[in-house]
Amino acid sequence: MPIGLRTFTNLTSIFFLSLCLGNCSDKYYECTDVLADSYYWEDPSLSAGLNSAKEAFSSGKFQKIKDSKYNIGYSKSAHWFYYIPQFPAEGNRYWLVIENPLLDFVDLSLEEKENFWKTWEMGDHRPYMNRILPIRPFALRLTEPSYRTGMFVRVQSEGSIRVPLAMCRGDWLISREARAEISYGLFFGSILFIGIYHLISYFYSKKTTFLTFAVYSISLTIFIGSQTGHLQQYFYPDRTDWNNYIIQLSSIFVCTTGMIFIYSFFPFLSESKFYKIIKYSAATCVILLIPCVFILRYSYLSRFIPMFSVGMMFFFLVTLFQRKNLNQSELWVRRGILIVFFAILVSILRLNSILPNAFIIIHALKISQFLEILCFALATGSQYNLIQQFALTTNVEKETALKLAKSKTEILSYLSHEIRSPIHSIMAYIEILSEKETGRQSQEELKYLQRSAEHVVKLVSDILDQSRLEAGKIEIHKENFHLSDLIDDISGEVKAIAAQKNLSFVVNLSPDLPKTLYGDSFHIHQVLTNLLSNAVKFTKEGTVTLSVSLVGEYVQFSVIDSGLGIKEDEMAILFSQFSQANRSIYKKFGGTGLGLSICRGLLVLMNSELKVKTELEKGSEFYFLIRNESNKSLPR
C-alpha cells in the first residue's frame, strides 16, 4: 500500500475510535437511561391518545419495567411509557433523547404549563428539517412542570427494536452530537476515499479484487447511511416510507458484494467441497429476498438477514482457518471477517434483549464495519505491493529474455553460417566423387552421404528460421505474382520426392481462381513446401493432394494426405517448437519438429492462420487462407 493511503487509514482509524470511545465514556456520567425507571402500557388498538394513557395510568394499567433490556420491537402495538425524571445533577437543563433516528412513530407528551399538556410528534413522518434540534437522534427539551408531573412517551415501531431512551444534559448533548457528526464524517469519508482509491487502482492494475472491494465499500456506505438516517436526511427527507425498503435492500446488497469480494480475494475457496452448495444457496437466498423486502414485514427480514450473514461468514472463517500458510494480505481479510462476525453476534444478542443498550454495544456493528474496511484496505494494499513487485520483476525478466533471445539469434546465425560453408563443400565433393566412382556400392554410399548432408542443411535452416521468427527479424514483402507459376514450381519439387515413395501427387485448381495474387510468394512457397514434405513423409501409400480454391475473397491452400492422422490428445503440441505428435514418429521418420511451428509463425506474419482437420488412420488436411488485400481480416 502506498505510504499516503496507509498513513491516512491509520490516522483516520485512531481519530474515529477515539471519538467513539469518548462518546462511550461520557455516556455513563451525562445521561440517564429512561426505560430503566419507566412504567409501560401496551395498546394493541393503536387508538389510545394522551387522555386514554392518563386514565390507564390512573387505573393502574401501567406496569413497572423490571428488565432494563425491555424490548418493544417486532410488534404492531403502540407502547406507552410514563417517566418522572431523576436528574443526575441539579441546576442543569436536560433533554429527552431517542437514539434511534428511524423509528416509525414516536410521540412525546409533556406538561408545558400547569394542567396544559403538549404533544410533539417525532417519528419518521416528520422530515429532518422540522426537528427541534438539528441532530440525528430525536431530542426534546424537558419543561419545568415535567420535572414534577413526569412525561408520557408513545412508541409505535414494527421495524425498529430495542429503542434506547435517555435523558441527557443539554450542553453535553450538543457537544456529543458534534463529535458524533465528526465521527460519521470520518467514517463515510474514509470508506468512500478508500473505495474510490481502489476503483482507480483497478483501472491501473486490472486486478478484479480492487474492483470488488470498491463496490463493497460503496455498498457498505449506502447500508450504514440508511441505518443512521443520513440517506433519508439528505436524499429523500419527504419519503420516509422508503426507509425500511432501502435498509433491507442495502443490507442484501452489502452481503452480496462482500461475498463476491471474498471469493475474488480467495480463489481457493472454490476448491471447498461445500463451495457449490454455498454458492447456489446464497444466490437463491439473495434472489428470493429481494421480492420479500416488498412483501414480508420488516421485522421478519430484520431477523433473517443477520443470521444469513453470520452463516456465510462462519463458512468463510472455517475455510480460512483450515487453510495453512496464508500470506499477510489474506490474514488481514480473515481478521476483518472475524471482527464483523462477532459484532453481528453482539447486535443480534442486543436486538433480542440479551445484551443491554450500552453505547459500545449499540454501535458495535458500525465500529466493526469501519475496522473491517481498514483490514480489507490493508489486505488489498499488501496485494497492490505484490503486484508492483511482480510487475518490476516481470519487466526485468522481460528485458533479460529479450537480451537472451537476441544473443541466441546472433549465435545461431553465426553457427549456421559456419556449419553451412563446410557442408556445402562436402556436398560439392560428393558430386565430384559421384562422377568418378562407377561402382554400385560406392554410388549408394555417396547417395547416403548426400542425403545426410542435405538433412543437416535443412536442420540448420529450420533452426535459423525459428530463431529469426522469435526475434522478429523476418519481414513480409507483398507483391502481385502469378499463382500458376507458384503452383508449377512447387509441383515440380514435390513430384520428385513423392515418386521416390511411389505416392500419387495430385493438384486440384479451382477454375475461378484469380490469375494473380497479392502476397509474399516466397514465404507462401516455403509454407506449402514444408506442408507437402510432411505429407509425403508421413504417408505410407496413397495420395498427397495440393488443392487451391476460391473462398469468397480469399484463396484457400489445402494440403491433404492419406497418412497416419493425428490423435486428439496430440493436437495440443502439434504446433510447438521441437515437437512431434509422439516419440515414435521421430524414431521412424526423423525431423526437427520445427516445420509446423515455422509455418504457423510465417502465416501469422501474413495475417493468416494454419488450421488442421484430421482423422486417425485416414489422413490429415492442413489449410490456410490468403487475401489479395491485406487490410481486411480473415473469416471465421
CATH, residue 572:
3.30.565.10
CA atoms within 13 A on the CB side of 9: 24
How far is 259 from 282, CA to CA, in rounded Å? 9
Model confidence pLDDT, tens digit, residues 511-558: 888 888 888 888 898 889 888 888 888 888 889 999 999 988 889 999
| 261 and 165 fall within a common domain | no
Residue 461 belongs to some domain of the structure: no
Residue 103 contacts by C-beta under 8 Å, 6 or more apart in sequence?
122, 123, 124, 138, 155, 157, 160, 163
| 239 and 312 fall within a common domain | yes
Residue 26: band (very low, low, confident or very high) from pLDDT cuts 50, 70, 90: very low
CATH, residue 162:
2.60.40.2380
| 265 and 362 fall within a common domain | yes
Residue 240: band (very low, low, confident or very high) from pLDDT cuts 50, 70, 90: low
Residue 577: band (very low, low, confident or very high) from pLDDT cuts 50, 70, 90: low
Residue 28: band (very low, low, confident or very high) from pLDDT cuts 50, 70, 90: very low
| 245 and 190 fall within a common domain | yes
Domain residues for the domain of 502 are 479-627
* pLDDT beyond 60 at 16: no
| 52 and 131 fall within a common domain | yes
pLDDT of res. 558: 93
| 185 and 61 fall within a common domain | no
pLDDT of res. 186: 74
| 164 and 218 fall within a common domain | no
For the record, the C-alpha cell of 632 comes out as 481486411
Residue 118 contacts by C-beta under 8 Å, 6 or more apart in sequence?
109, 110, 111, 112
**Ranked by mean pLDDT, which of 201-210, 297-306, 440-449, 501-510 comes out on top?**
501-510
pLDDT of res. 630: 43
Mean pLDDT calculated for residue range 366-386: 75
pLDDT of res. 530: 86
Residue 131 belongs to some domain of the structure: yes
Residue 2 belongs to some domain of the structure: no
> How long a stretch of residues is the chain?
636
Residue 417 belongs to some domain of the structure: no
| 166 and 188 fall within a common domain | no
Give the residue from 174, 202, 221 where a domain finishes: 174
140-149, 262-271, 317-326, 401-410: range with lowest mean pLDDT: 401-410
Residue 344 belongs to some domain of the structure: yes
Residue 328 belongs to some domain of the structure: yes
What are residue 39's phi and psi, to 5 degrees?
Answer: -110, 150
Model confidence pLDDT, tens digit, residues 427-466: 676 777 777 766 777 777 777 677 666 666 666 676 666 6
Residue 234 belongs to some domain of the structure: yes
Model confidence pLDDT, tens digit, residues 74-114: 567 888 888 887 665 555 677 777 766 555 567 777 776 76
What are residue 49's phi and psi, to 5 degrees?
Answer: -100, -165
pLDDT of res. 198: 79
| 307 and 332 fall within a common domain | yes
How far is 523 from 463, CA to CA, in rounded Å? 16
Residue 569: band (very low, low, confident or very high) from pLDDT cuts 50, 70, 90: confident
| CB-CB neighbours of 3 under 10 Å | 7
Summary mean pLDDT of the chain: 75
The tally of domains found in the chain comes to 3
**Ranked by mean pLDDT, which of 299-313, 326-340, 462-476 comes out on top?**
326-340
pLDDT of res. 15: 53
Give the residue from 361, 377, 395 where a domain finishes: 395
How far is 250 from 232, CA to CA, in rounded Å? 13
Model confidence pLDDT, tens digit, residues 243-300: 778 888 888 898 888 888 888 887 777 766 667 777 788 888 888 888 888 887 666 6
pLDDT of res. 622: 92
Residue 401 belongs to some domain of the structure: no
How far is 420 from 443, CA to CA, in rounded Å? 24
| 161 and 199 fall within a common domain | no
Give the residue from 140, 174, 208 where a domain finishes: 174
* pLDDT beyond 50 at 589: no
Asked if 33 and 85 count as a contact pair (C-beta separation under 8 A), the reply is no
| 169 and 256 fall within a common domain | no
How far is 123 from 231, CA to CA, in rounded Å? 16
Q: Residue 616 carries which side chain, given as an amino acid letter?
A: L
| 85 and 216 fall within a common domain | no
- Note the pTM of the prediction, 2 decimals: 0.53
Going from the C-alpha of 55 to that of each of 62, 376, 445, the distances in angstroms are: 10, 56, 129
Model confidence pLDDT, tens digit, residues 597-624: 888 888 888 888 888 888 887 888 999 9
